[in-house]
Amino acid sequence: MPHFGLMDAAALGPERADLQRARLHLRGGKRRLRQGKISAGIVTLYDALTSAMDWFCASPERRRLVRGAREVFADDRALYAALVRSGVLDGAFDFERFNRVVERALETELPPGDDSGILDGVQSVLTQLGVLPFDEGELPPEDPRTY
């Protein structure tokens, strides 16, 4: 994963680690898509998205904006739905479709084109959550030897 060796989660603490992980995985997912590693890119973008949602809910101030914030969300779908229901996210991103593509990506290498619109959708969600924009220059440099 793109964050291995590039961050110390314990030193950052849970909230800052989720934010850093989301940003590192967004950068890594974009790189993998550019390299034609479609399945790896999609799975990495999924991790960016779920880390961003975790980051959003890690802050008590932001978590109060989420209806049902006291409940433990059963999975990422439930958390995404709660963020949409609360108006934090506009719901334009088809999270269910994304989940289906991710499941296929975990089973096989997807051809170019199967990622159509996914990057834009993930970036839109990350913007709504407050993860984007950010200065990529503030991230540790990528290791070109990583997958």
- pLDDT(72) > 90: no
- pLDDT(3) > 50: no
- pLDDT(116) > 90: no
Alpha-helical regions (H) of the chain = 9-12, 14-34, 38-58, 60-63, 76-85, 95-107, 118-129
Phi/psi region, residue 77 (left: phi>0; alpha: psi -120 to 50; beta: rest), is: alpha
Residue 141 is which amino acid? P
The span from the CA of 85 to the CA of 17, in Å, is 26
Q: What is the mean pLDDT of the chain?
A: 86
Report pTM. Answer: 0.86
When computed from its CA atoms, the radius of gyration of the chain, rounded to whole angstroms, is: 15
Tokens encoding 13: 């603490």
Banded model confidence at residue 5, pLDDT cuts 50, 70, 90: low
CB 34, CB 48: distance < 8 Å: no
- Domains of the chain in start order, with CATH, are 9-138 (1.20.120)
